[in-house]
Structure 1
Amino acid sequence: MGKFFFKAYSFFLFFIFIFLQAVFAQQKQQKAKKPVDLVYPQLDTEHSRWFFFSSASRPFGMVNLSPDTQLNGAWDSGYRYQTDTIKGFSHVHGWQISALSVMPVTITNQNKQNVFTDFYSKFKHSNEKVSPGYHLVKLERYGITAELTSTKRVGFHRYTFPKAVTPAILFNLNTLLGPCNNVDGKMEQTGAKTLSGEITMSPTMRRPKVFKVFFQIVLNANIDSLNRDEKTGNYLVFTDKKKATVLMKAGISYTSLANAKSNINSELPKWDFNAIVEDAKKEWNGMLARIKIKGGTEIQQRRFYTDLWHALQGRRTISDANGAYPDNTGQNFRIGQLPLDKNGKPKFEQYNSDAFWGSQWTIQTLWGLVYPEVMASFSNSLLQYAKDGGFVPRGPSGGNYTYVMTGAGTTPFLVSAVQKGLITENLQEVYQTLKRNHIAGGMMEKAGYEHKTAKGGGLAYYIKKGYVPYPNPDGNFASHQDGASLTLEYAYQDWTLAQLAKKLNLTEDYNYFIKRSSNWRNVFDESIGWMRPKDVNGNWLKKYDPYQFGKGFIEANGAQNTWYVPQDMAGLAQMMGGKEKAVDKLNAQFELAQKLGFTAGTSHAEETHPEYKRIPINYGNQPSIQTAFIFNQLGRPDLTQYWSRRVVDKVFSGLSPDTGYNGDEDQGLMGSLAVLMKIGLFQMNGGTEQNPEYEFGSPIFDQVDISLQNNKHLIINADGTSAERCYIKSVQENGTDTERRYINHLEILKGATLNFKMSNQP
């Protein structure tokens, strides 16, 4: 009996030993994962947009190389996860721009007559690998393994063809690609292994001018022949049959063929494909690892770094490695030149970008804290547009203004950059440049996509009457002529401009714009407690329903937009009857919104759905994404902590192709918002006041360690935080107890440690 017991006990100890070894090995493996390895690129790709998905891309890269499964339109196009057919690999996925689609093929007797019109291939996700900077997929029709990577301005392909086939590459230069038609595509052989060409992107409703892209192709295999199809205008390149693996570089430029070649020489002179994949991975990891997290589940960590990855893409570089850039702001196209540093490198990049509509609650807070060099580069780019065309753009595309969305959304962005010390030179000139958008002749006069008139924005009424009337008495000129929303937006943007005037001691201007910033009061109906549209005669909109979508409000309803007063929440609460009543009102809206999951469906189009359009808080679009943090302003931080956690858990926690951002991830805005909510930091007015404040939410990780550009760190400890333990009971800043529920920018720059004691009770 004793011997048996000893053997059993020994076996038990051995089992425990093996089990613990396995556990420790698994933990070590998990710890060894780098942030870049946790990114899930296919997030929400069942609801993708043309610029949404980027696999073989660098941060803000000019080249965004990836497979396209849907080609029609800006929405629901590009890489759509549920579509099992690849229609080409294209190099440009940006706001209103697209270009250079290629497809490796094998030529047989069956397809040689119709390959130009019948070349799509099925694929399986089981034969696909995707990570930041890399994409591998097997084309079932041809048996070709296609691998993609890139530098900032050069796409790099590796095609492995089956043996004993005729390898070829189709250049589908003249085709619809997402938001625009590619036309007048031309290509010629310029050497034994080189090709050169250009493509014209046709104008779109949003981008009013043509836009050209030039490209240089370099292969590691000899070109056997180049065939052009007369009907489609596209090209088929036959390569050396003896080479089963073909490498191809595709350098692009929006200025000239010479610069397309120069971009290759500058960024990709060698042929080591695997080295470029690793370099892309290293660059992405360097950006993502600026925020290190501990705690949480593996899914929470993976979703966090996927959100952060989204915050660093979508908005695309359009300047060349030597600083040349396309300027389309004038009557005639010109090639501009960015200023160079002492080493001959451009001081910043020039960008193609969707609107900065809602950036005050998203990218300008995240970039300004974690990626200040990115915010500085974008700020200088916006100011360069103003030097060229006279105005800071709302969202530039094709080197020109697009008048996307409304107002002067880049004013808060640039003011925040100034207040955070990222723009320090020529501040008087910067102010005057921004001011031009707030007066007659500026951006505020134009409604969405209003290219040829300047009445849709209703600025003259805003200045004279103190509000923008709805409907616009001058007629319909464009999109988004919703007077109540425009009034709220202009008032906030005026307030941010006033902060810069104050900084520069421009007292008269400060008084003027600070007075205009109170115009929001003119569209608040105290008798019902909601923002309400007003006609040109000052009459409230009749039969008003605050839950009616789009009637006087831009991509929102009155219930959502009522809280769009980030510059004066105290004043709004007073008009509602006091902070307590305001809290009760907003809390009731959250309780109702929770029943619909805090979003208007799973895509932007569902906002007009009979049920979803009546949601009182919508975290699927920008107009009400600040609302959870309003409770901080009303003296109830516990409700900010409670509701921000509920929103994160419901809206920003999924990790699958059919969940993520509900179809409206406007180039990093919603990804940035998710990151900020998860680390528990937010800026209600977009960080536009002097020494901007970051207010606290409810961190979802035990520790967040943010590396600052000056080699200091902001560390947020929230040990034991969870969905139930979401409340901050007490705070220590650098070891000292504090009653404050915020930290300011200068304190962060000195390096700071915040210790949050978390509780399941408010």
Structure 2
Amino acid sequence: MLRIKELLFFVSTLSLLLFVSCEKKVEVKKPLEINYVDRVYPWLDSENSRWFFFSSASRPFGMVNLSPDTEIDGAWGSGYRYKVDSVKGFSHVHAWQMSGLSVMPVVNRDSINPFTDFYSKFSHESEKVTPGYHYLKLDRNNIEVELTSTKRVGFHKYNFRAEDGEKRAILFNLHTPLGPCDNSEGVLEMDGNMALSGSLVMEPTFRRPKPLKMYFKVLLNTPIASIEHDEITQNAVVHLNKTEDAVLMKVGISYTSKENAALNLEKEIPHWSFEQVVKESKEEWNKMLSRIQVEGGSDQEQQRFYTDLWHALQGRRTISDVNGAYPDNTGEDFRIGQLPLNEKEEPQFNHYNSDSFWGAQWTINTLWGLAYPEIMHEFTHSLMQYYRDGGLVPRGPSGGNYTYVMTGASSTPFVVTSIQKNIYKGDLQEAFSALKKNHEKGGIMGRAGYEHKTEIGGGLDYYLERGYVPNPLPEGKYGIHLDGSGQTLEYAYQDYTLAQLAKKLRKSSEVEIFMDRSKNYTNVFNTEEGWMGPRNEKGEWKEDFDPYAYENGFVESNAAQATWFVPHDLDGLAKLMGGKEKAIEKLQEQFTKAEELNFTSGSSHESELHPEYRRIPINLGNQPSIQTPFVFNKLGRPDLTQYWTRKVVEKAFSGLAPDTGYNGDEDQGLMGSLNVLYKIGLFQMNGGTEENPEYQIGSPIFKKVTIKLHPDYYKGGTFVIDASNNSTTNVYSDAPVFNGTSLTDFTIKHEDITNGGTLIMNMKSESKTK
């Protein structure tokens, strides 16, 4: 009897242990991994594309951006244009003022000249695009094309029809107009029966005044039968041996030498697994996109959010090789520079090609500085490398040289916020000297847009002597973007940001100088009209003043939009307007009118010149007034910031379609970054340039936002925004609570965020903050 009881006890105990064991397995089971790349809608706004806009087979900031081109003439309206149904080539470089190496798989038929007759229709129905990968079918010869890449190497996969095995070929279109510039002086040579190498020249453009040579190394998985060169087009067709296998082609590029192109290829793709590179690319994009995790909202809102975030991480391109060699075009003669190496003999940072930082103070300054500090770190070092090479910190470098794109010293706020957030830890005295040079005679402030050989268009002499830039400039037209009052506003803000760095370094005399200059915005405020206004050399205000006249004294904007470009002294601006209440009333009226046009000047940048659209009081489609919803917050009305940011997101930045998306000028991730910030409810009015920078709190559209803080820069682990009861109608929050402390002014400091914690916002349909 005892044995039976013991047996029953043993069975009972064993059952309990098995049950507990099973329970533990259920508890520790991890949820399925989220593929953030699947939430990206890559075709967004692709009908309004610029050459560098669309990205498919590319890594974050990759030197290679491999994608199909349906239009190839001009920087605007070129590259991948969704509604154009024919592919004209697959090119490897889509960058600011740079393009290069267009190739096209073709079938060599006796009746067709492959050098001049190679365009092919394709269908979006079978097309597949995700970050890092592109698939489409060329209808003309039923060739399936797949593309992927690493940072410096493009990887192609071509499936030809079996019956075309003897006629397979690849066109290397080395002499062609391609986006912003012509490709010329192309050379293609065999390096063995399955290898090629060559070079081409990216011809100078109006914006990039010097040529740039591009080198490439090509490896194929199938033998080359012959190379045919055409005397008329000067291009080459590579004929392949017969085989039924898919053709794989790896293309490494470099701006320094063929040897470095080969090295880039060897180091980044030493194998032949196309699928492995696709997988690794997807993993890299997932890792980057997962830095900000959102919960709640609709599927479309989440798709649009990760598409915006994807845009914030592309466009600006690496130009340095794996060994740190890079093209330096800043001097009289071209030279190959060398980035500093770490103890592992690896470059300490990459060198970059970049469109202007004009407007970056309200976009990537905040987003990169918070979620991607390693990117801000690299770009700051890259900007300083340009200074060491050429004597100036650029505002938009291309081809290893200055372009003088746009106006002002727009890189100053970027570098200063990088220092204030303790991201850049280089020589701060050197950084101050470098930035200060741009604010003095001989610096970038003295040059208006693309003014390569003179220093007049910036009107800096007048600014220093009289406190404003005249409009029109008495000396005449030098460069473009000569709009004196707009330039004055930019300079005054940028002077303020430089003063903040001087303050950090205890340079009291420079603090006084640049803080005094930061007040120069008052010199272009017309108190009679109540707006910023154009003012001539004699100090006279423009007669028949129209605050809605576009580019009449203001860069890519009108007076109504530009009046609020005083992010460093909104209290002072409000005082000029008669007090905060009147300033709020004025801005509220502007937003009410702007809503009638959905807050943007049409659906593309070119529409800003349209007679109807250009008269909009606030334009959220271009940089000069994208900060305006958060002006309410700084003037004591956070409820209006919450209301209008939600309205702007709803009407201007929620769609998913090829013919709309940013409704303006998406300058290499600036508008994508802005959208991300609006949607998570964080913003920095003065670009994060003061000590321990301040963030303004808006109205997040998601119930929960988790930002994974980079452990090499910030110790907090995660920063969470918990917006309970969030909905399309519940857009307001009472004072947010962060780690138990009520934030009645709707602001939070950088160190508080990066130390980690949870910001609690109880969302409601009505606000008590009025």
Deviation at 1:29, TM superposition (A): 14
Aligned length, in residue pairs: 733
Alignment partner of 1:694: what SS? Answer: strand
Answer with 730-739 or 332-341: which moved more.
Answer: 730-739
Name the structure 2 match of 1:637: 638
Q: Which amino acid aligns with 1:621?
A: N
- Give the whole-Å Cα distance in 2 for the aligned partners of 1:85 and 1:737: 57
- Give the whole-Å Cα distance in 1 for the aligned partners of 2:33 and 2:383: 40
Q: Which amino acid aligns with 1:745?
A: H
Name the structure 2 match of 1:117: 116
Q: Tell me if 1:735 matches 2:766.
A: no
Deviation at 1:740, TM superposition (A): 3.6
- Give the whole-Å Cα distance in 1 for the aligned partners of 2:614 and 2:171: 45
Q: Which runs of 5+ in 2 are unaligned?
A: 1-28
Within-5 A mapping of 1:463-542: 463-542=464-543
Name the structure 2 match of 1:760: 765
Is the 8 Å Cα contact of residues 208 and 398 (structure 2) preserved in structure 1?
A: yes
Deviation at 1:109, TM superposition (A): 2.4
Alignment partner of 1:517: what SS? Answer: helix
Deviation at 1:31, TM superposition (A): 7.2
Name the structure 1 match of 2:601: 600
Q: Tell me if 1:236 matches 2:234.
A: no
Q: Which amino acid aligns with 2:732?
A: Y
Answer with 735-744 or 138-147: which moved more.
Answer: 735-744
- Give the whole-Å Cα distance in 1 for the aligned partners of 2:724 and 2:158: 48
Alignment partner of 2:134: what SS? Answer: strand
Name the structure 2 match of 1:149: 148
Name the structure 1 match of 2:580: 579
Deviation at 1:650, TM superposition (A): 1.1
Is the 8 Å Cα contact of residues 735 and 746 (structure 2) preserved in structure 1?
A: no
CA deviations 1:242-270 (Å, max 9, x no partner) are 14310000000000000000000110100
Q: Which amino acid aligns with 1:480?
A: H
Deviation at 1:37, TM superposition (A): 1.2
Alignment partner of 1:61: what SS? Answer: coil
Name the structure 2 match of 1:22: none
Name the structure 2 match of 1:167: 168
- Give the whole-Å Cα distance in 1 for the aligned partners of 2:348 and 2:84: 42
Is the 8 Å Cα contact of residues 391 and 433 (structure 1) preserved in structure 2?
A: yes
Q: Tell me if 1:205 matches 2:206.
A: yes
CA deviations 1:573-615 (Å, max 9, x no partner) are 0100000000000000000000001000011111111110100
Deviation at 1:661, TM superposition (A): 1.1
Deviation at 1:721, TM superposition (A): 1.4
Within-5 A mapping of 1:539-618: 539-618=540-619
Alignment partner of 2:156: what SS? Answer: strand
Name the structure 2 match of 1:193: 194
Name the structure 1 match of 2:4: none
Name the structure 1 match of 2:428: 427
Name the structure 2 match of 1:318: 319
Deviation at 1:663, TM superposition (A): 4.4
- Give the whole-Å Cα distance in 2 for the aligned partners of 1:56 and 1:29: 31
Within-5 A mapping of 1:324-473: 324-473=325-474
Name the structure 2 match of 1:220: 221
Is the 8 Å Cα contact of residues 357 and 410 (structure 2) preserved in structure 1?
A: yes
Alignment partner of 1:127: what SS? Answer: coil
Name the structure 2 match of 1:699: 700
- Give the whole-Å Cα distance in 2 for the aligned partners of 1:426 and 1:139: 53
User: Using a 3 Å threshold, how does the CA distance of structure 1 residues 700 and 30 change in structure 2: closer, same or farther?
Assistant: farther
Q: Which runs of 5+ in 1 are unaligned?
A: 1-27
Q: Which amino acid aligns with 1:715?
A: V
Is the 8 Å Cα contact of residues 162 and 244 (structure 1) preserved in structure 2?
A: no
User: Using a 3 Å threshold, how does the CA distance of structure 1 residues 199 and 29 change in structure 2: closer, same or farther?
Assistant: farther
Q: Which amino acid aligns with 2:98?
A: I
Name the structure 2 match of 1:19: none
Deviation at 1:447, TM superposition (A): 0.4
CA deviations 1:381-427 (Å, max 9, x no partner) are 00000000000001000100000000000000000000000112311
Deviation at 1:30, TM superposition (A): 11
- Give the whole-Å Cα distance in 1 for the aligned partners of 2:754 and 2:412: 24
Alignment partner of 1:195: what SS? Answer: strand
Is the 8 Å Cα contact of residues 601 and 664 (structure 2) preserved in structure 1?
A: no
- Give the whole-Å Cα distance in 1 for the aligned partners of 2:310 and 2:426: 31
Is the 8 Å Cα contact of residues 730 and 758 (structure 1) preserved in structure 2?
A: no
Name the structure 1 match of 2:710: 709
Q: Which amino acid aligns with 2:223?
A: N
4+ runs deviating over 6 angstroms: 28-31
Is the 8 Å Cα contact of residues 66 and 79 (structure 1) preserved in structure 2?
A: yes
Alignment partner of 2:249: what SS? Answer: strand
Alignment partner of 1:730: what SS? Answer: coil
Deviation at 1:736, TM superposition (A): 3.5
Q: Tell me if 1:720 matches 2:725.
A: yes
Alignment partner of 1:552: what SS? Answer: coil
Computed over aligned residues only, the root mean square deviation of the Cα atoms, in angstroms, reads: 1.2
CA deviations 1:468-516 (Å, max 9, x no partner) are 0000001101101100000000000000000000000000011000000
- Give the whole-Å Cα distance in 2 for the aligned partners of 1:341 and 1:581: 56
- Give the whole-Å Cα distance in 2 for the aligned partners of 1:131 and 1:722: 29
Alignment partner of 2:177: what SS? Answer: strand
Alignment partner of 1:190: what SS? Answer: strand
Is the 8 Å Cα contact of residues 49 and 663 (structure 1) preserved in structure 2?
A: no
Question: What percentage of residue pairs aligned between the two structures are identical?
Answer: 60
User: Using a 3 Å threshold, how does the CA distance of structure 1 residues 738 and 544 change in structure 2: closer, same or farther?
Assistant: closer
Q: Which amino acid aligns with 1:599?
A: T
- Give the whole-Å Cα distance in 1 for the aligned partners of 2:295 and 2:496: 38
Is the 8 Å Cα contact of residues 524 and 532 (structure 1) preserved in structure 2?
A: yes
Deviation at 1:730, TM superposition (A): 3.1
- Give the whole-Å Cα distance in 2 for the aligned partners of 1:155 and 1:349: 18
Is the 8 Å Cα contact of residues 550 and 557 (structure 1) preserved in structure 2?
A: yes
Alignment partner of 1:488: what SS? Answer: helix
Q: Which amino acid aligns with 1:741?
A: F
Is the 8 Å Cα contact of residues 115 and 233 (structure 2) preserved in structure 1?
A: yes
Alignment partner of 2:445: what SS? Answer: helix
Is the 8 Å Cα contact of residues 312 and 668 (structure 1) preserved in structure 2?
A: yes
Alignment partner of 1:718: what SS? Answer: strand
- Give the whole-Å Cα distance in 2 for the aligned partners of 1:29 and 1:226: 54
TM-score (normalizing by structure 2): 0.94
